[in-house]
Every structure is written in C-alpha cells, then in structure tokens.
Chains A and B, each alone.
Chain A
C-alpha cells in the first residue's frame, strides 16, 4: 500500500500540472479538467475522483502554487451548493458510477447544482416534507413544491429529498435523489424577497421522472443521507482570517469617523458595544480556526452562525439610524437575480433587510439554540409526539 502524499508530493504534482497545461495558453475549462484529473481538485478526495487521498490540510499547498501561477479557479461562489453539499453527499453515499458521472463536471463548474429540500410546509421540521416520489417501473415519478432554492434557474442537477412511504414515521419514509433540472416537469419561478431582488426560487415538480439509478442511498434511508448534506452546510465557517473591522462593523465605523455631524450619544454607546462584540466574534472565529488547524475542532462552530446573525442585524439596524435622512432612502428595489449573495454589499438599507435572513437560512437561530443546548450542553430534548406517528397522520 502506498503512503499518503506529503506537501512535497503535492507541490511537485502541482508544478507538473502547470508545466503540462500552462494557464496562459490553456482554456479555463481544459485547465480545470486537467487539474481534476491530476488529483489536485480536492486532495482529500479519493484518487480518480479529483483527489489523492491526502490530508485535507494539504490543499493549501496546491492552492498557493496555483494562485502564484495565476491559474483559473472554478468560481466556488457560483457552484457552492455543488461543492459544499452535493459533492460530499455523492462521495459518501453514491455508487461508483454516480461518482464517476457527476463529480468531475460538478467540480469543474460545467454543471451547476441546486438543493431541493425545503418546502412551504417543511422548514425547520424538514423531515415532515410532503413532495411525493412514487415508483413506476425503473423510474420514480415526483410531484410537489420546493422553496428557497438558490441557483435553481442556473442548475443542471439538483439534490432532492422526497417522500417514498407516507405510511411510516416521517424520518423513515424519505429517499434521496439526483433530479435532472431540464426535465419538462420542473418549473422554476423566482421568489422575490424583502430586499426586492430574487436570490432564491420556488420549484414546482409535476410528474418529474427520475430513473432509479439516480437514487442516492437505499429507499427509505434519505434522511440519513440528507444529514450528510446538512452537516456539510455548516462546515464552511472557520476558513480565512478576518481583519479587524472586516465584517459589517467596517462601513459603520468608517461613516462614524468621516461624518462627525451624524454622531449622537445614544448611537455612540450602541456603536461601541457592537464594535466590541464584533471584535470578540472575530476573535472567536480566529480561535475556532486555530483549533481546526491544530486538529482539535471544538463545538464553537455551531455558535458562530448565531453570533453573526444577531450582530449583522443589530449593526445594520444601527447603520440605518446613523445615516439619518439618507437612512430613509433605499438603493434600488428593482427585481434582479444576483449570481451570489453579498451580505456586506450595497447600501445600509439592503444590509438591514438582507441580514434578517441570517437568523433563518441554514437553520433558524431558535433551532440552532436547541442544537447547542442538546448536543453541546447535553440538556434533555423536549418531549415529542411526532416520532412514532405515520407521516400521513401528522397534523398539517
């Protein structure tokens, strides 16, 4: 058995890739395909699937070499759902054929992915979802409605969970599929949100046919598979170092320095309290990052989203007030479809409105507090009466 590659191996392989496919004379897609085939896409993935079975930390070695050579990247912001959620799920639960078919175009960015999980009637209680998948020969026929789907209008594929057995308790009757977004039964409608724009979509599924070969994991085991996806959704925190005043406090502090005429005593006290809290949140993120680097991941990550949601909301709320008459204006209500979301982008009014979503998306703050209380502190769960009831008999 060969040993896992070390930093020197990764560096050598990266230089060989750059020599064989000089970024200056290679098309971006060709270069990214070659990088995938060289195992330098995500080095911790298996050999043959874009990786080298190397420690995850060694990715930084390849990335540094590639950045120095001005190699094209795969625009992770555009394909975040594929990279962060679909790929780890396919890797953990997919068949060899599914891995070979889907991972390469996913990583290269040739095929965009979206996630068909949330429904109008299943938000925090995702396992109560009602989209039905009924077996018909070698296919499944899917009917239902999904919501809060970013990138659905750009996506080639979707990860989808649907109910395959309504007669058993909700967690047991779900299966996990890869859905073809070009199927004629898929209808995508923009979902306009309080900022005026539409980052998200509603997706209506009517008689969508999915071959059984695009099922991920066993029939009825979809909740377990979905947990892989959802765990990966919250792993992304703790990446890069953030500079002081690097978050939403930055623009407020700059306005305070530049425009003395806006200052009041009440705003000053609130600004200083929030400045301290933002700095402490930055340090908490830095400490979490150092723990990850040292190989001692702590449970702190579950708390960071809670902290940033509240801070973003309070800071942006303060900013609107600080701006006085200007705070009464809003940049632009035009219905647009942004490619990605920028929490600190645009004007104060936009930041104030968009940050309201921070305590809802990716797990509401109320659910996250339950998770911290039960999984980190070990407090007992609330008594539940939904776990042993067939899905079809639940109140809705």
Chain B
C-alpha cells in the first residue's frame, strides 16, 4: 500500500483520564454502601422480588433525596448536586454490588441525561429536571431496554398512540419520556391514557413492563432533531455507567465466591485451596481489576465531555458485560449446590448480569462501534 492511513482517534497525550477515586467519591460510596446494607440485604431483596413492584420506597427516598444521589449529574443552578458521571458511577458500583431494585440507572442517569441535553431554559424541561434531581419524581425513557445509543434515530417514530413492548423500571416511574416522530414528550404515568402492564422479567431486580398509550396527553419537551441527539446522549451515558454497575456486580460475585470457598470444606480441605478453583478466581480477579480501569475510563470520559467518550463507553461495555456474566456464572458454579437455590442470592446476580449484557446494546454491538470508530471495518 502506498498510502498509510493514519490511526484514527489519535491518542490524547495532553490529558490522561483520571482512573482513580477521589476522597469525596469514596465518602459517597461509604454512604451508599451503608444505606444498602441497612435496607437491602440479600434476604430483603429476594423477598421483594416476589412482587411486580419490588422497589423499596424508603430506600429510594434515602438514596435519591437523603444522600442526594438522584441529582449528581445535575448542575446546582438546575437543582442538583453539581457532581458528575464519576460520582454517579460510584453509586452504580454499589447498586451493582447489592442488586437492590432501584430506578437509578433509568431515571437518575438516562432520563436525567436526556433532559440535560435539551434546552434546560425551557420551563417544562427545567421543572422536570429539578424534580428528578431532588428525588421527588422518577422518569424513564419509554424504549426497550436493549436499545443502544445508535438506535436513537430509529426510536423517534410514530405518535403518542403506541405500545412499547418493554420498558425497564416503568412500574416505578412517575413520568414517561416518549420519543415520537414529532419529538420527545413527557407523559405522566397516572394519565388515564397510560397503561403500564408488568412483564415476567429474567432479571427480577430490574422489572419490565409494557407501556400502552391510548389518548394520553403529554408535554412536548423537544422537537425531533434535538430530541434525537438528547436520547442518543442519554443512552450513551446509560451504557457508560452500566459498566460501573457491572463492575460492582462482578466484584460482589468474586468476593462471595472467595469467602465461600475458604469456608466450605470437602476432602478434608477448604475447597478454595484446590488449584483448579483458585486459578479460576485469580483469573476473575484479573478481569475485575481490568473492568475497573475500563469503567472508570468511561465514567471520566463522560464526566469531562471528552471526544473519546463514545469509544471509552463502547470499550467499557464490550469488556464489563462479559466480566459481569463470567463472574456471576463462576459464582454459581463455585458455590456448588447452594448456588442453584432460590434462597442464596447468587441467582439474582446471574440474572442481573445476563440481562445487563443486553441492556443498552450487547458487547457485540459495542464492538461494532469500536470497529467504526477505530476504522477496523468488517470484510
């Protein structure tokens, strides 16, 4: 070849991503962890999954309003905490570790990011944003959870007369953000024209419902063009921070598996002393360590508005999806029989990990994004 193409997405020598945690982030983690330990231990979460609305209202109020986690992405002048995706990612690590049902990713990240991408001087946008940031209201995007950021354009179709077959956390939402060909609408869940019908989800800790709109009235938040960009940005942030949830989930699975195999004795030894098992856990540790770097990189890129963010998010999703599933599958296997029971929480993590592997796009979809951004095209 005579012409050598320059490597795309040239490496930014000037500003390396900050991949560590700040002291403030560690303080936030400690507050969220202690709240979840008090209100959402494994037995409580398993018991709650018996209901189609397993959400704990008091837990959400403490997390969203008490700790202020719902407003982390929102600037102070718009009623939020003026923090960033880095802090929201830490909250999601802890939620992943606990798998407590809470509409944080859907409402406090995706819906909130969509509103932040709109004209926040417009009264309906500002009012809803302030309510979300304060934890008074929750909102979800009325799209199927597997929709990737690249699916934003196709999502703006049809009218307010429609059925969305599957929406995550719809049962916990006060407001639905509904994309249509005419733009993005906010529709109150209590509107008589709205019907939210629970589905039977694989992941019991992130409930799904079908949403049917017949004669509902909504408030137009944005015309189609800005709405499309905003939905794409919301889904990008969702995918990027989902990586942190997956990291927390994988970390729990590894920690519990190590704990179990140190205590469980067979053949007159702790089973964790067998190389066949310990090598698998060491390998998992390496994946968790790597997932942490990938997830922090995505959170930092989103927080700083880096042009590298789409690549950082795609890399993090392609990696962390697989790490979470691998960790949860190893957790079940290395727990032996107890890992197959309803009583032990391992199944909650397996179900969440497998469902998360589809949410906002599979690892394969994200690798296609890598291929496009890095100019590594298919044959």
Q: Does the CB pair A253–B7 fall under 8 Å?
A: yes
Known interface pairs A244-B11, A290-B20; A374-B378 also in contact (CB < 8 Å): no
Q: B16 contacts which of A241, A279, A381, A383 (Cβ < 8 Å)?
A: A241
Q: Does the CB pair B285–A376 fall under 8 Å?
A: yes
Within 8 A of A (CB), among B210-231: none
Q: A272 contacts which of B9, B11, B270, B370 (Cβ < 8 Å)?
A: B370
> Does A57 count as interface, using CB distance less than 8 angstroms?
no
> Does B110 count as interface, using CB distance less than 8 angstroms?
no
- Contact segment of B31-39, B158-166, B271-279, B351-359: B271-279
Provide the residues of chain B in CB contact with A394, threshold 8 Å. none
In the assembled complex, the CB of A175 is this many whole angstroms from the nearest CB of chain B, namely 31
Q: B379 contacts which of A258, A265, A281 (Cβ < 8 Å)?
A: A265
Q: A258 contacts which of B5, B318, B370, B374 (Cβ < 8 Å)?
A: B5
Known interface pairs A275-B370, A294-B20, A373-B279; A280-B293 also in contact (CB < 8 Å): yes
Provide the residues of chain B in CB contact with A265, threshold 8 Å. 378-379
Within 8 A of A (CB), among B74-89: none
Q: Does the CB pair A378–B269 fall under 8 Å?
A: no
Provide the residues of chain B in CB contact with A280, threshold 8 Å. 290-291, 293-294, 315, 319
Q: Does the CB pair B270–A284 fall under 8 Å?
A: no
> Does A47 count as interface, using CB distance less than 8 angstroms?
no
A205, B32: Cα distance in complex, Å: 63
Q: Does the CB pair B370–A287 fall under 8 Å?
A: no
Provide the residues of chain A in CB contact with B270, threshold 8 Å. 379-380
B254-276 interface code vs A (CB 8 A; 1 in, 0 out) = 10001001100000011011110
A40, B189: Cα distance in complex, Å: 70
Q: Which residue of B lies closest to A296 (CB)?
A: B20
B353-369 interface code vs A (CB 8 A; 1 in, 0 out) = 00000000000000110
Q: Does the CB pair B5–A257 fall under 8 Å?
A: yes
Q: Does the CB pair B286–A271 fall under 8 Å?
A: no
Known interface pairs A243-B11, A253-B374, A272-B371; A381-B290 also in contact (CB < 8 Å): no
A355-396 interface code vs B (CB 8 A; 1 in, 0 out) = 000000000001011101110111111110000000000000
Q: Does the CB pair A268–B7 fall under 8 Å?
A: no
Interface of B is mostly: helix
Q: Does the CB pair B278–A373 fall under 8 Å?
A: yes
Chain B interface extent, by class: 35 or more
A246, B270: Cα distance in complex, Å: 42
Provide the residues of chain A in CB contact with B17, threshold 8 Å. 283, 286
Provide the residues of chain B in CB contact with A23, threshold 8 Å. none
- Tell me the count of chain A residues lying within 8 A, CB to CB, of chain B: 53
> Does B333 count as interface, using CB distance less than 8 angstroms?
no
In the assembled complex, the CB of A143 is this many whole angstroms from the nearest CB of chain B, namely 35
Provide the residues of chain B in CB contact with A306, threshold 8 Å. 286
A294, B379: Cα distance in complex, Å: 44
Known interface pairs A253-B7, A276-B318, A380-B262; A284-B289 also in contact (CB < 8 Å): yes
Q: Does the CB pair A281–B370 fall under 8 Å?
A: no
A271, B9: Cα distance in complex, Å: 17
Provide the residues of chain B in CB contact with A380, threshold 8 Å. 262, 269-270, 272-273
A300, B286: Cα distance in complex, Å: 8
A235-272 interface code vs B (CB 8 A; 1 in, 0 out) = 00000010111100000011011111001110011011
Q: Which residue of A lies closest to B9 (CB)?
A: A244
Provide the residues of chain B in CB contact with A376, threshold 8 Å. 282, 285
A245, A273, A377, A382 interface centre (most CB from chain B within 10 Å): A377
Provide the residues of chain B in CB contact with A182, threshold 8 Å. none
Provide the residues of chain B in CB contact with A287, threshold 8 Å. 19-20, 292-293, 296
A254, B377: Cα distance in complex, Å: 12
Provide the residues of chain A in CB contact with B294, threshold 8 Å. 280, 283-284
In the assembled complex, the CB of A268 is this many whole angstroms from the nearest CB of chain B, namely 5
Q: Does the CB pair B269–A379 fall under 8 Å?
A: no
Provide the residues of chain B in CB contact with A286, threshold 8 Å. 16-17, 19, 293
Q: B262 contacts which of A245, A294, A368, A379 (Cβ < 8 Å)?
A: A379
A374, B275: Cα distance in complex, Å: 10
> Does A307 count as interface, using CB distance less than 8 angstroms?
yes
A283, B298: Cα distance in complex, Å: 11
Q: Does the CB pair A284–B278 fall under 8 Å?
A: no
Known interface pairs A258-B1, A372-B282; A276-B273 also in contact (CB < 8 Å): no
A268, B21: Cα distance in complex, Å: 35
> Does A303 count as interface, using CB distance less than 8 angstroms?
yes
In the assembled complex, the CB of B233 is this many whole angstroms from the nearest CB of chain A, namely 22
B275-314 interface code vs A (CB 8 A; 1 in, 0 out) = 1001101110110011111101100000000000000000
Q: Given A260-B379, A273-B318, A380-B272, output 6 extra A-B contacts at Cβ < 8 Å.
A: A268-B371, A290-B18, A290-B19, A377-B258, A377-B281, A383-B269
Closest 3 CB pairs of A and B: A373-B278, A263-B379, A372-B282
B residues engaging A (CB < 8 A)? 1, 4-5, 7, 9, 11, 13, 16-20, 254, 258, 261-262, 269-270, 272-275, 278-279, 281-283, 285-286, 289-294, 296-297, 315, 318-319, 367-368, 370-371, 374-379
CB<8 Å pairs between A and B, sample of 26: A241-B16, A258-B5, A263-B377, A265-B379, A268-B376, A268-B379, A269-B367, A272-B376, A273-B318, A276-B318, A276-B367, A277-B319, A280-B290, A280-B315, A283-B290, A287-B20, A287-B292, A287-B296, A296-B20, A303-B286, A307-B286, A370-B278, A370-B282, A378-B258, A378-B262, A379-B258
